[in-house]
Amino acid sequence: MMVEEMNAPLLKADNLSKSFGGIHAVRQVSFEVPTGQIKGIIGPNGAGKTTLFNLITGFYAADAGAIYFNGRTLDGLVPHQVAERGVARTFQNVELFDRMTVLENVMVGRHPKSRAGFISAAFRLSHARREENNIINKATEILNFIGLSERAASPSTSLPFGLQRVLEIGRALATDPLLLLLDEPASGLNAGETRELGRLICRIRDSGITVVLVEHDMSLTMEVCDQILVMDYGRTLAEGSPRDIQQDPEVIAAYLGDEPLA
């Protein structure tokens, strides 16, 4: 139903609020992410962007408001349950599994789609072996998609930083998400790597996965996003297409400064 309906919201945040002590990190933020789009969330440091991700993925519980995903509330779910529902994410400071290979990192991402437990693993029961093969195949497929198959057996720490970010996206894709949340994926990347990343994000969207992107890098946001939400001091400042945002006087005055965006 939902998929057939054009631009039905996959994710809907309704009046979300979260404060830490006296700091209101997120204040009554509402927005929708339509299926199949790339949504950008921009704003200066401390605007509440990462807090928003942590609320959606169940790392924090909201003080008020609700989050609906795929027609159901995410209220009260903890991170692994949110992942099982089909929301995957990356982290601002690249959280890879440092003592694993590139392939193994992606294989961990298959966790919610597999079931083998201690017993079937310890005795190598046939269904666990089959499942393990499926995990390897799927992970290999994903490494091909993100262009890291030649580094499959390398330790993840041996990758240059830009590729570590790509690998983290690959691990998130392994969970077969409906929604992918990217927390500042371009930070620390050079211009060439950022363009490459932009193309990857578009390919992910084209494969049917909805993307939400928190970003500082304007070139990436303006280029790939269908819709942009601007946050400041935990509030929604503006929402619209990249063109609207670039021309929004309030955004220009309050956040971007007086100079118009390139």
Partner 1 sequence: MIRFLKYTWFQVGSFGLLLALVPLVVTNRYYLNVMIFIGIHTLLVVGLNLLMGYAGQISLGHAAFFGLGAYTSGVLTATYKLSPWPAMVIAVVLTVAVALLVGVPALKLTGYYLAMATLGFGIIVYICFKELVWLTGGPSGLVGIPKLSIGTVVLDEPRTYYYLVWAITLGAIVLSLNIVDSRVGRALRAIHDSEPAARASGIYTARLKIWVFVVSAIYASVAGSLYAHFITFISPSSFDFMFSIKLVTMVVVGGMASIWGAVFGAATLTVLPEVLAVFHDFDIVIFGLILMVVMIFMPQGLTRGALDLWEKYRLQRDVAGGSLSGG
Q: Is residue 31 within 8 Å of residue 47, measured between CB atoms?
A: no
2 contributes a contact to partner 1 by CB under 8 A:
no
Could you tell me where the DSSP H helices lie in 147-190? 161-173
Angle at 45 between CA 42 and CA 51, to 5 degrees: 75
Question: Residue 39 CB, nearest distance to partner 1 (Å)?
Answer: 19
In whole angstroms, give the CA distance from residue 172 to residue 176: 8
In whole angstroms, give the CA distance from residue 260 to residue 94: 32
57 contributes a contact to partner 1 by CB under 8 A:
yes
117 contributes a contact to partner 1 by CB under 8 A:
yes
Q: Is residue 65 within 8 Å of residue 14, measured between CB atoms?
A: yes
Applying CB under 8 A, which of residues 56, 88, 211, 213 lies at the interface with partner 1?
88
> Which residue lies nearer to partner 1 by CB, 129 or 199?
129
Applying CB under 8 A, which of residues 67, 102, 128, 173 lies at the interface with partner 1?
128
Binding mask 155-174 for partner 1 (x = CB under 8 A): -------------x--xx-x
100 contributes a contact to partner 1 by CB under 8 A:
yes
76 contributes a contact to partner 1 by CB under 8 A:
no
Applying CB under 8 A, which of residues 7, 73, 114, 158 lies at the interface with partner 1?
114
Residue whose C-alpha is closest to residue 244's, from 44, 42, 48: 42
**Phi, psi at 207, each rounded to 5°:** -80, 0
> Which residue lies nearer to partner 1 by CB, 25 or 82?
82
Residue whose C-alpha is closest to residue 83's, from 175, 155, 5, 149: 175
208 contributes a contact to partner 1 by CB under 8 A:
no
249 contributes a contact to partner 1 by CB under 8 A:
no
127 contributes a contact to partner 1 by CB under 8 A:
no
60 contributes a contact to partner 1 by CB under 8 A:
no
**Token pair belonging to 250:** 């309030």
Say which amino acid occupies 124.
R
**Phi, psi at 238, each rounded to 5°:** -160, 160
Question: Residue 56 CB, nearest distance to partner 1 (Å)?
Answer: 11
Q: Is residue 163 within 8 Å of residue 102, measured between CB atoms?
A: no
List contacts with partner 1 (CB under 8 A): 57, 59, 78-80, 83-84, 88-89, 91, 95-100, 104, 107-112, 114, 116-118, 121-124, 128, 131-133, 135-136, 168, 171-172, 174-175
